[in-house]
Chains A and B, each alone.
Chain A
């Protein structure tokens, strides 16, 4: 809630345990008591979920206008009122006795699992049984037992014996995630949490139910029996997966990350995160991690080398040569800044690009103008009158943005419009109006959008650049309607890399390379005479130049060549490759020098989320010996004789802050035209694709439990195409290009007839590797 909204609220004064407290109207008693520092025991109450009054643990005595309720009332369901007098367990023997009675009831069927239960040590039931319960049980009967544990998905295990039926998990799934796969079945003593028989609990947000479960009824399969709360060292961190910018908590034991939990940040992720952010961290401790620098010997093999050896070899290879720099989308702000400075100062080039994905010049121009200046935040989504999604699937590509939109859809039926190939499950949950497009024709669809006001929010995904002219149409639309723009890349580091100038046309702080004043500004701050003026190359151009031997070397930092194109790796074969990587990859296999860098838990730094909000994090594994990119770049630049003087993350952050943002003349957008007109013959369609949240991404490797809930890949086609092909739902169809083909079960959905959709990087559906394209091209579609 914004400050101005607060002033309009009526305030109410109540007396709790003899103390007066004034709170806004509508506040629940339990929260008013919290404000006084009075802790009423509770299980089902959660500030972000609607009240349920399910566990009855928070019973208190309530009196209004001198009339007392005949029995104690659940303080988590009753809002405060004027002249209300509340007596909690601290002053009312009746309330205390009621709470103790409820605790005894809850414990009657609760098994004595604490020694083997993952929640043991951080369990609200354990704690409150100590504070509110009896020392000895009076119950001598046989406890109710259920089969345990039941895997309700590959990553969440349910132990019904432990459940206290607080309905937190079911309310979360229903109210926050919109995936009501999990419900309360049966009634009375047999009531239990269950899943629908046909639908496993395949929510992208299922991990949150594990976190908010006040007992150990829901546990995560990956963390099961791995550790105890008192073993773990917790560090507040930021999630490295997408640009949502979640605050998370990293729990480390003996130098190894064992689990991650959603952190609390009311203005970003509230208290939630997605399953990818929670469970995709096994790559950090993978066997493929590189520990020492590797140097390609005369025998053509990589050999372990010392740091001085490797740095000297790299310095010799790069010094005075034509070098391009591919930064990748998960560099921190400080690392991206170091790459930017290294390219400009040490290498003397503007050939640097963070876009390890499809990209265009139109996009570069869009990023340097509209995206860089976008100031839209999560609050703007809360207040929006309409949200337009362009080339953006929030549930798959930025799950917390999805939760934020869904919250408003649920609360006030916020209108959502999506320009996409078909209505994904996320769009369906948002009740979005689908404007079906054939890939490549987005520009026309965007230009035709109407009814936007200055309160509307237009969320543009990074994928929109794949359709020529679409971003130009967005700029036009914004100029026409004054709507707010949010550019949401898929990766956590892209907004920060843009801000840090890890792109050919920008210097740090959004300074255009083409502006002499901006160059002078940065050159003065960096203490160099001048900065390179020639126009830099984009990722594709760098790769093409490397292949054509127009570049002598390429610095590749955390880039998967298959994210760019099917040919990217072969294009690097002809050139000297210096790889900065955390683990062995396709690039390190062909690199001449490999320098191991610190992964997210081993360094400090910050990301910028899609809003441009800094998400700083600190080192979670203190004893780690790995070095961050900027530290290595500093050493390398020193070795090459033109130092960049970035000794530490703190020093880099200070330098970035001192440099500040560009306040001079802004660059102007260069529009591009949609020029493709594709003719479709029979049996042909235009491919669209995007990545699902859980897919074959490198950072999700080594976590089979998480992969188990990935949505299966399908080939989506329209009803009329299905009819003409003669396929029914679930029958296999083959999508092919000259390069290769993908055969998948067909899924018939409402979409443009000229279109076929595939998941971009899922199991059995890797469009770049197999078909060689991401979309917007003609493919043939036949019955398999």
Chain B
């Protein structure tokens, strides 16, 4: 990803991870991706009463080149999906995605041909945020959970190790159509 990836791995890596995580999580720059009603709540979160500036992320950048967090706020139509993906691709790494609200998370009540049934069909999502729309506190809760996640992100060989483990777990997982839960 960045310079930190080039750092020599070894005994100091854990401390480097902590430092990099601390810095990264306190300087997120969100890209504007307000698509529908959720965007109003996202704007409210940026305004005085909720004040995202407290977390160092008051500036929503209109250019993806200057952003590393995409808050997909609203329903993504199939026509919007390639645009969304392009913006995501244009963002420099490391980058994160929050699916804000039911529509971005799963399509919500719009279970129809026009709406992407969950934005994770298009981009990898780090945090799913329920709500229709979620109130600004809920968005901040999601952002804080993401902060926590970023703060503990691994680097270098540790990261490669984590990726291998996740991949192995995904391969071993039972397919969703075989998951029964409590169903008889």
Contact = CB atoms under 8 A, between A and B. Distances in A.
Contact between chain A and chain B defined by CB under 8 Å: yes
4 contacts: A226-B184, A254-B183, A255-B177, A623-B177
B117 to A, nearest CB: 16
A226 B184 CA distance: 9
Contacts of A226: 184
Interface in B129-184: 177, 183-184
Contacts of B177: 255, 623
Contacts of B184: 226
Interface in A594-627: 623
A623 B178 CA distance: 12
Interface string A255-270: 1000000000000000
Contacts of B183: 254
Contacts of A255: 177
A254 B182 CA distance: 13
A666 B115 CA distance: 62
Interface string B89-125: 0000000000000000000000000000000000000
Contacts, number: 4
A623 B183 CA distance: 18
Nearest to B184: A226
Chain B interface, DSSP helix/strand/loop, else mixed: loop
Contacts of A623: 177
A623 B177 CA distance: 9
Interface in A336-361: none
A255 B177 CA distance: 9
Nearest to A624: B177
A255 B180 CA distance: 11
B111 to A, nearest CB: 15
A254 B180 CA distance: 10
Contacts of A254: 183
Interface residues of B, number: 3
B141 to A, nearest CB: 32
A255 B184 CA distance: 12
Nearest to A623: B177
B118 to A, nearest CB: 18
A335 B183 CA distance: 33
A702 to B, nearest CB: 12
A255 B183 CA distance: 12
Nearest to A255: B177
A226 to B, nearest CB: 8
A623 B184 CA distance: 18
Top 4 closest pairs, chain A to chain B, by CB: A623-B177, A254-B183, A255-B177, A226-B184
A32 to B, nearest CB: 44
A254 B177 CA distance: 10
B143 to A, nearest CB: 36
B172 to A, nearest CB: 15
Interface in A243-261: 254-255
A643 B16 CA distance: 63
A232 to B, nearest CB: 15
Nearest to B178: A291
A233 to B, nearest CB: 15
A208 B184 CA distance: 25
B181 to A, nearest CB: 11
A623 B176 CA distance: 13
A693 B157 CA distance: 67
Nearest to B175: A625
B24 to A, nearest CB: 42
Nearest to A291: B178
B66 to A, nearest CB: 44
A209 B4 CA distance: 75
Interface string A213-245: 000000000000010000000000000000000
A604 to B, nearest CB: 21
B177 to A, nearest CB: 7
A222 to B, nearest CB: 11
A292 to B, nearest CB: 12
Nearest to A625: B177
B135 to A, nearest CB: 32
A217 to B, nearest CB: 25
A387 B183 CA distance: 49
Nearest to A285: B184
A346 to B, nearest CB: 33
B167 to A, nearest CB: 21
A622 to B, nearest CB: 12
B129 to A, nearest CB: 27
Interface string B50-81: 00000000000000000000000000000000
A255 B179 CA distance: 12
A671 B183 CA distance: 57
B44 to A, nearest CB: 38
A422 B177 CA distance: 52
A777 B177 CA distance: 52
A469 B177 CA distance: 55
A484 to B, nearest CB: 48
A596 to B, nearest CB: 15
A147 B183 CA distance: 30
B145 to A, nearest CB: 31
Nearest to B183: A254
A254 B183 CA distance: 10
A226 B177 CA distance: 20
B38 to A, nearest CB: 30
A254 B184 CA distance: 11
A503 to B, nearest CB: 39
B175 to A, nearest CB: 10
A598 to B, nearest CB: 16
A583 to B, nearest CB: 17
A254 B181 CA distance: 13
Interface string A742-773: 00000000000000000000000000000000
A215 to B, nearest CB: 26
Nearest to A226: B184
B105 to A, nearest CB: 21
A226 B183 CA distance: 10
B102 to A, nearest CB: 21
A255 B175 CA distance: 15
Interface in A555-601: none
B174 to A, nearest CB: 12
B95 to A, nearest CB: 35
Interface string A650-691: 000000000000000000000000000000000000000000
B125 to A, nearest CB: 25
A473 to B, nearest CB: 52
B184 to A, nearest CB: 8
B108 to A, nearest CB: 20
B48 to A, nearest CB: 47
B64 to A, nearest CB: 38
B55 to A, nearest CB: 42
Interface string B27-43: 00000000000000000
A623 B175 CA distance: 14
A764 B177 CA distance: 40
Nearest to A254: B183
